[in-house]
Amino acid sequence: MRVFITGNQGQLGRALKRVLEGETVAGCDLPEVDITDRLAIRAAIAACQPDVVIHAAAWTDVDGCARDPERAYRVNALGTQNVALACAEVGAALVYISTNEVFDGTATEPYREWDPVHPINPYGRSKAAGEWLVSHLLTRFYIVRTAWLYAPGGRNFPHRIIQLADERGALRVVADEVSNPTYAPDLAAALAALIRTGACGIYHLTNSGYCSRYEFARAILRQTGREHIPVEPITLDQFQRDSTPPRFAPLANTAAAALGIVLRPWEEALAEFLCSS
C-alpha cells in the first residue's frame, strides 16, 4: 500500500511514519509544500500516486485560529479542499484528521460519530468546514475525530503542566473542560489498522475514557512524583484565553470498536509517555 502523509513532520505525522514502516510512505510538510498552494500539493500527491492520503496537516493553534479566523479557514478548510481534489485526481482514499471541537460541548454523554456537529469557535468551524468538503468531494474517505493529542518531542499539555509545576510550585487548572487525552502513537496505530480494513466512514479515535483538564493535570503530577504540588480547580470563565472550547466534548468510539479497533485507557498511555519523555 502506498501512503502519503500531509504534515508528516508533526507529532501525528512522525508517529504515523513509524507505524507504517512496512508500507511505501511519502509525505510533505512546511516549508517545502503548503497545502494552501493547490498546484504544489497536487504535484506532491500526484508524484506519489498513493492508495491512501492521511491528511494530518492543519493549523491546530486554537487560540491563534480565534485571533485569525480567515487564516484558519484558508488552512483547515480550503487547504483540505486542495488535498481532497488531489486525491480525486489520483483515485486515492482520504483520511481527514478532525477534532472534538466540531461539537458545542452541551452534551451530557460522549459524542458519537453520527451526532450533528455544531462548532462554537473558529478552529472548530474551520475543521467542520473541512469535514463538509471531504464528504462532498470524495466517495472514499475516513473522517477521524480525535481530542487533546500529545506526543513525545513536541509542545503539549503534559510537558506544560510539568514545566509550570516546577517553575511556580502551584497550579490553577480548568476543571469544567472535559474530553479524551490521546497519545499520538496510539492514534497512529489505530489509523494504520483502520485504513487496512478499507471500511470508509466517520470515526472517533481517542484513548479510552475521559477526564477534565484538572484531572489530567493531577494524573500527570501524580505519575511524575509531583503530587505534592497544589492544584486549584478553576472554571473556564476564570481562565483568560482567545478561544472558547466546548465544555464537555469527549468522543465515544462506536464505529471503530465495531471493527475491533479500541485504544487503551488514557491513564495507561500517559504512563508510557511520561516514562519515555
What is the domain partition of the chain in residue ranges?
2-153+181-207+250-263
Q: From the options 3.20.20.105, 3.20.20.70, 3.40.50.280, 3.40.50.720, give the CATH code of 2-153+181-207+250-263.
A: 3.40.50.720
Give the tens place of pLDDT for each residue, 89-115: 999 999 999 999 999 999 999 999 999
- The three cell numbers locating residue 194: 483502520
Give pLDDT, residue 76: 98
In three-state form (DSSP H/G/I as H, E/B as E, the rest C), the secondary structure along 102-113 is HCCCECCCCECC
Give pLDDT, residue 2: 96
Give pLDDT, residue 155: 79
Give pLDDT, residue 222: 97
Return the percent helix, strand and coil in the chain, to nearest 5.
Answer: 45, 20, 35
As a whole-number percent, the residues of the chain with pLDDT over 70 amount to 100
Answer whether 51's CB lies under 8 Å from 2's CB.
yes
Q: What type of residue sits at position 20? A: L
Give pLDDT, residue 239: 87
Give the tens place of pLDDT for each residue, 137-183: 999 999 999 999 999 876 799 999 999 999 999 999 999 999 999 99
Give pLDDT, residue 277: 72
Give pLDDT, residue 198: 96
Q: How many CA atoms lie within 13 A of 27 on its CB side?
A: 24
Which parts of the chain sit beneath pLDDT 70? 154
Give pLDDT, residue 153: 79
- pTM metric for this prediction: 0.96
Q: How many CB atoms lie within 10 A of CB 17?
A: 18
Residue 210 is a catalytic residue: no
Point out the catalytic residue in the list 73, 96, 111, 123: 123
Could you tell me whether strands 178-179 and 211-212 are parallel, antiparallel, or unpaired per DSSP bridges? Answer: antiparallel
Question: How far out from the chain centre does Cα 178 lie?
Answer: 15
